[in-house]
Chain A
Amino acid sequence: MAADGGVLIVGEATEGALRPVSLEIVSAGRQVADSLGQPLVAALLGSGIESAARELARFGVERVLVVDDPRLAAYTAGATTAVLASIARQLEPSVILIPGTTAGRDFAPRLAARLRTGLAADCVELAVEDGAVVAVRPILGGRVQTAVNLGGSRPQMATIRPGSFEKATASGSEGTVEPIPVDLSDDDLRVLVKGLVTEESNGATRLDQAPVIVAGGRGLKEPENFQLIEELAAELGAAVGASRAVVDAGWRPHHEQVGQTGQTVSPRLYIAVGISGAVQHLVGMQGSDYIVAINRDPDAPIFKIASFGIVGDLFEVVPAVIAELRAAKA
């Protein structure tokens, strides 16, 4: 492969709307494309995504390749891998960057195997050295990082941890939007998506889009006490998050879990209540603009990254905060 066909990024859209993580991957791609002196090309897959593609083209992307097909309405690894492998073979990009979302982490390894190329997972920083992409990623539970040089194969592929790059801002110029025909075989469509189990996602604000998150951990002692978290969240118009400990214990559904094995979030404000801050939790929320911690243990690691901390009994502090917020509104 000549492999100088630009830097390919993969955007995400749900129900026709561009997901915010798409603008983070634009920033990551822009940085690498500028360093390499190559164009930035985005691929967007889905159904009914014309307007999302036009929106994406306004953020400093030279070309947006739109793959719009009813069979891509619900994400599957099979179809996504087939479409992107075909694009990669035609475009011969030097680099492919993919958001490290549930979907991205799911299809990226499959695509890398199909293209017989290397893949770095969950990267938080990118640089270019002598034409090779060098990515930094957390390992060993997030306490340690390592640099990975991707230069040994083409295309150089990486998934990017959500929240690691600022969202791109609209640029003056508008990229071209190019529809790409779809060629899918039965083998690409072996997984049939039936839909979401609605009762578990009803009314919940999506964590990755919430500007404010109130998260609870084991310090709440009993599942019923999560009501305190819900009340505080309601006062702030916030989404509810949870630590792995309480999700493992079955107190809260997994889609509320923040951390290495849950979601990575970077809201404007993150309030951690009764969460000590195990590394696997910290890696999922340390990109938040402001972190407030309420915990009984003054040595809890969460205080080391907190912008504002209260050492105290959450069963006294949280009701007092709720009362104070209500008084402020009255």
Chain B
Amino acid sequence: MGYSIIVLVKQVPDMNAVRIDRATGQPVLSDQRVISSFDEYAIEEALRIKEAHGGEVVVVSAGPPSVKDAIQRALGMGADRGVLLACDQINDFDTLAVAEILANHLRGMTYDIILCGQNSDDYATGHVGPQVAELLGIPHISSVTKVELDGQQLTVHRDTEEGKQVVEVGTPVLLMAMTGLNEPRYPSLKGIMAAKKKPIEQVSVTVPEAGARLRWGEPFVLERGSAGRILQDVPAAEAAKELVAWLREQKLIPTG
């Protein structure tokens, strides 16, 4: 028994290390590549389900050879095996083409639950999860903060503007992991050593007909508006008085 779980992982440049080149005004991405942060929640949840109920966790990632490092890290956290869908041009495609690459391979795999992050750190569209689910003809649930399993029936909590919504769904299903779902573990030294012996299957993919649905322009850096009135080295009581007077001037609080 147990669950067949697939985790979709994206490798991204470390967003904390994005620089702006002063000469060109262009963003410069870090060479440091990491697993997109929401995908770590997805991996962690897959591992917790496996630990509680048994099963297998397979990590699937599409991209250039460097993606192997991301898969390796997931294996170090405890995933059982990896699949690398080799595709150097992955960043030239729109999300639907990426979803096709993933779905084309997933069709040949067994799964009860597919997990991925709510969105990626770099382009943050949040499209690939729902699009993979659509292409596979299975339901998806986004903004997932809690998963409870009862056989092939799931009770899932998801974040909405109104608060936490509770939904029920059967397998197979794709779940998109959100902040609050869990606290991802770090790979242990033992885990990292064990990961070296775990299999990573390399698959060359047929590049889908992207058809240039979208054309991207050059990125540009946002200009910040000019600063307003800033009080510094003013005693708290005085600053508070000035703020309240200002709020009243702007008609942001009722004039007393």
- Tell me, yes or no, whether A binds B: yes
Contact A112 B215 (CB under 8 A): no
Of B15, B134, B166, most A-chain CB atoms within 10 Å? B134
Q: Is A83 an interface residue (CB 8 A)?
A: no
Whole-angstrom CA separation of A291 from B247 in the bound complex: 11
Of the listed stretches A42-50, A51-59, A137-145, A169-177, name the one at the interface; the rest are far from the partner chain.
Answer: A137-145
Interface assignment of B107: CB less than 8 Å from any CB of chain A: no
Binds A, one of B45-53, B75-83, B140-148, B187-195: B140-148
A184 at the interface (CB under 8 A from B): no
B220 touches A196 (CB 8 A): no
Chain B residues whose C-beta falls within 8 Å of the C-beta of A204 in the assembled complex: 163
The answer to whether A261 touches B240, judged by C-beta atoms less than 8 angstroms apart, is: no
Interface stretch of the complex, out of B65-73, B118-126, B199-207 = B118-126
Which residue, A120, A150, A208, A310, has most C-beta atoms of chain B within 10 A?
A310
User: B15 contacts A140, CB within 8 Å?
Assistant: yes
Of residues 210 through 256 on chain B, the ones whose CB sits less than 8 Å from some CB of chain A are 211-222, 224-225, 227-234, 236-237, 239-241, 243-244, 246-248, 250, 252-253, 256
Q: Is the CB of B164 within 8 A of A201?
A: yes
Q: Does any Cβ of A come within 8 Å of B64's Cβ? A: no
CA distance A123 to B159 in the complex (A): 21
Provide the residues of chain B in CB contact with A309, threshold 8 Å: 227-231
Q: Are the C-beta atoms of A192 and B169 separated by less than 8 Å? A: yes
A201 to B222, CA, bound (A): 35
Taking a contact as CB atoms closer than 8 A, the residue among A145, A254, A317 that contacts B180 in the complex is A254
Q: How far is the CA of A244 from the CA of B96 in the complex (A)?
A: 29
Given known A-B contacts A139-B124, A200-B163, A325-B244, A312 and B239 have beta carbons under 8 A apart: yes
Question: Could you give, for residues 167-195 of chain B, a 1 whenever the CB lies within 8 Å of some chain A CB and a 0 otherwise?
Answer: 11110000000111000000000000000
From A1-9, A31-39, A63-71, A102-110, the one touching the partner chain is A102-110
CB neighbours (8 Å) of B220 from chain A are: 144-146
Flag if B213 contacts A310 (CB, 8 Å): no
Partner of A196, one of B145, B164, B221, B222: B164
Q: Once the chains bind, are B230 and A303 in contact (CB under 8 Å)?
A: yes
In whole Å, how far is A216's beta carbon from the nearest beta carbon of chain B? 17
Of A207, A261, A303, most B-chain CB atoms within 10 Å: A261
Do residues B246 and A321 form an inter-chain contact, with CB atoms below 8 A? no
User: B159 — nearest CB in chain A belongs to which residue?
Assistant: A254
> Does B61 make an interface contact (CB < 8 A)?
no
Query: CB distance B170 to A190 under 8 Å?
Result: yes
- 25 A-B pairs with C-beta separation under 8 A: A102-B142, A105-B126, A106-B130, A109-B128, A110-B130, A113-B99, A121-B125, A143-B222, A190-B169, A191-B139, A191-B168, A192-B167, A194-B155, A198-B163, A201-B163, A207-B161, A250-B180, A254-B145, A263-B161, A305-B225, A309-B231, A312-B232, A325-B244, A325-B253, A328-B244
9 further interface pairs, Cβ-Cβ under 8 Å (given A253-B163, A317-B239, A324-B244): A103-B160, A106-B130, A110-B133, A117-B213, A119-B127, A149-B216, A212-B252, A250-B180, A308-B228
